Amino acid sequence: MRRHLQKRLYAQLGVPSSTFRMSGEQLNGNVSELVVVRHGQTDWNAQGVLQGQAESSLDDVGKEQALAVADYIARKIPDIAATYSSDLRRAADTANIIARRCCIPQVHLMEGLRERHLGKLQGLPRKDAQRLEPEAYKIFVAHLGDKPIPGGGESINDLSSRAKLCLEEIAHNHLGERVLVITHGGVVRALHRHATGMSPTGRILNTSINIFRITNENVWALQCWGDTSHLSPSIRAAPMSDQDSA
Give catalytic residue positions.
39, 115
Q: How many residues does the chain have?
A: 246
Find out whether 174 is annotated in a ligand binding site: no
Where does residue 192 rank: exposed (0-12), middle (13-18), buried (19+ CB within 10 A)?
buried
43 annotated as ligand-binding: yes
90 appears as a binding residue in the annotation: yes
Residue 216 annotated as lining a ligand binding site:
no
130 is in an annotated binding site: no
The answer to whether the annotation marks 207 as part of a ligand binding site is no
- Residue 153 in contact with residue 117, Cβ under 8 Å? yes
Reported in sequence order, the residue ranges of 11-75 that DSSP labels E, i.e. its strands, are: 31-38
- The SS3 of residue 205 is coil
- The span from the CA of 239 to the CA of 6, in Å, is 36
**Residue 51 annotated in ligand binding:** no
Sign of CA dihedral 107, 215, 227, 114: positive
Residue 201 marked as a ligand binder: no
Instruction: Tell me whether residue 87 is annotated as binding.
Output: no
| Strand (E) or helix (H) holding 198 | none
Q: How far apart are CA 182 and CA 193, in angstroms?
A: 18
Residues tagged in the binding site annotation: 38-45, 90
Annotated binding-site members for substrate:
38-45, 90
